[in-house]
Amino acid sequence: MSLGTAGARAARTADPAEPGGDAALAAAVALPPRAERAERAEAAADRLRTAAVDAVAVTWVDNAGITRVKAVPVGGLVHTAEWGIGTAPCFDVFLADDASTTSPIIGGPTGDLRLYPDLDRLVPLAAQPGWAWAPGDRHTQAGGPHPGCQRLFARRTEAAAAARGLSLKAGIEVEWVVALDGPPQEAPRYPTHGPAYGMHRLTDLSDYLRDVLRALDHQGLDVLQIHPEYSPGQFEVSVAPEGPVGAADTSVLVRHTIRAVSARHGLRVSFAPVVEPGAVGNGGHLHLSLWRDGRNLGHGGPGPHGLTAEAEGFLAGVLDALPALLVLGCSSPAGYLRLVPQHWAGAYQCWGLENREAALRLVTGSTGERAAAANAEVKCFDASANPYLAVGGVIAAGLAGLERRGTLPPEFTGDPAAAEPGTVPRLPQGPAEAIAAYERSAVLREALGEPLYQAVLAVRRAEAEQYASAGPEQLVAATRWRY
Ligand code: GLU
Ligand code: MG
């Protein structure tokens, strides 16, 4: 199992019993013993019955960024924990409109996988009474990790960091547009017409937003803030940072909780990159900090704004890989309608302290809280991304940068759009450019492993082709209610 160029090299030379060895990395994606799973599921099922839960939804996110699901009654949870739920591998080449493509290794009607709920994340759903949710990992029928499983990929990259004594804290901001319910072909009609960031909007939708907060809180999520955003009907919620796989799980849970609360209020939501052509879109900004021995490596170092050499190397790796990372962090071709200058989407491949036009925004936090708060934000990502691919890809690119002791180019202050043309590189302006960068990225290819790398590539190519001649109106109409 490979983990990025540098990781793979280290893994091959290490003793397999050592933390950085193949055995440790394999352990990070292995299922616990069956008897242990059964015992834990039995206890979990008892708790769920006490909480009046009838069924458990087990989700995974496909390469097009759509959350897919299989559900089981609570009575079947033990069997599910022991044997998984059957899921077809062809979901790895599904497109956002439910058409499918094929890829050199994964695709076609044959084969089956087992989807195992992660019982550590099992939680009753506050806005879907009688239901609980758990994210799933996909394994083969023989019990080994499915090489196309995006969540296991994220786990492997987390383990690759751990093998170097590093840990990460991550958080994914969720932006959404809320609209009155209507048919899928209809453009949004808004339940509030209040101004951007306006109290007016919060007042109009006060019960709804309180119910969103309540549901998130009942599910054990630690909300940092909620507020109206720029575009019509747009809001944002952010939650406390946690481990990278946990943050990806949380972003799935937060979005589906918002969707469920909205439905109970007769509203519908869009997390699509762009909901109205030309408007500011929905981002899926990824915040990350790198830690060693309980110390935030983004603070107290000799580098720019207190970065340590390791944090700077990590961020240099991420910055360098951003064009290729867009393939993982912006799944939909519609993402490139969002990723435009002067929309706070981070359309330029540069970094800057608190610069909202830079794809990589450095955040040091306030004086006094910096040791805890310093982090970096990848702004160019949107919520059409599979969050497991997004976090795993960023970690792989960051570790490669750290390994080669990368340094950041000079900081960019101000608006890159106002700079002398050509001074600051634009990120890819369409899927073809991002796909070309991805095809040049040995780091991502090795980290993802061939089956997953190829499946993602096939899905991106197929969606790029689907919308190659579509104008913005058509592309937005086709994607706005899919995410
Ligand atoms: N909605 C903007 C985006 O598309 C981001 C606004 C903000 O900085 O929160 O990413
Ligand atoms: Mg925002």
pLDDT of 15 strictly over 90 = no
pLDDT digits (tens, 9 = 90+) for 181-209: 999 888 899 999 999 999 999 999 999 99
Domain with CATH 3.30.590.10 in the chain: 166-479
Distance 242 CA to ligand 2 centre (A): 19
Question: How far is it, in rounded angstroms, from Cα 421 to Cα 417?
Answer: 8
Q: Give the β-pairing of 223-228 and 267-270.
A: unpaired
CATH code 3.10.20.70 region(s) in the chain = 31-146
Which residue out of 173, 175, 236 has the highest number of ligand 1 atoms within 8 Å of its CB and is therefore the one to mutate? 175
Q: Ligand 1: which of 225, 274, 282, 287 to mutate, most ligand atoms within 8 Å of CB?
A: 282
Question: What's the pLDDT score for residue 14?
Answer: 38
pTM of the model: 0.95
- Which atom belonging to ligand 1 lies closest to the Cα atom of 345? 10
Q: Which two tokens stand for residue 329?
A: 């962090």
Residue 7 pLDDT more than 50?
Answer: no
The larger pLDDT score, comparing residue 237 to residue 2, is at 237
**Is 18's pLDDT higher than 90?**
no
pLDDT, tens digit (0-9, with 9 covering 90-100), for 383-397: 999 999 999 999 999
Domain 31-146 fold: Ubiquitin-like (UB roll) (3.10.20)
Nearest 5°: CA angle at 277, between 273 and 282?
25
pLDDT of the residue at 384: 98
Question: How many C-beta neighbours within 10 Å does residue 354 have?
Answer: 12
Q: Which atom of ligand 1 is nearest to the CA of 379?
A: 10
- What class does CATH assign to 166-479? alpha beta
Q: Which atom of ligand 1 is nearest to the CA of 346?
A: 10
CB of 273 sitting under 6 A from ligand 1: no
- Whether ligand 1 lies within 6 angstroms of the CB of 338 is answered as yes
- The torsion angles phi and psi of 162, rounded to 5 degrees, stand at -60, -35
> Going by CA atoms, what residue is nearest to atom 7 of ligand 1?
344
pLDDT per position as a tens digit, 414-432: 999 999 988 899 999 999 9
Our separate counts of H helices and E strands in the chain read: 16, 16
Compute, in angstroms, the gap from residue 256 CA to the centroid of ligand 2: 18
DSSP string over 17-72 = TSTTSHHHHHHHTSPPPHHHHHHHHHHHHHHHHHTT--EEEEEEE-TTS-EEEEEE
CB 271 within 8 A of CB 282: yes
Using CA atoms, how far residue 379 sits from 69, 243, 244, 305, 345, in Å, is 28, 19, 16, 19, 6
d(CA 22, CA 160): 10
In this predicted structure, the answer to whether residue 9 has a pLDDT above a threshold of 50 is no
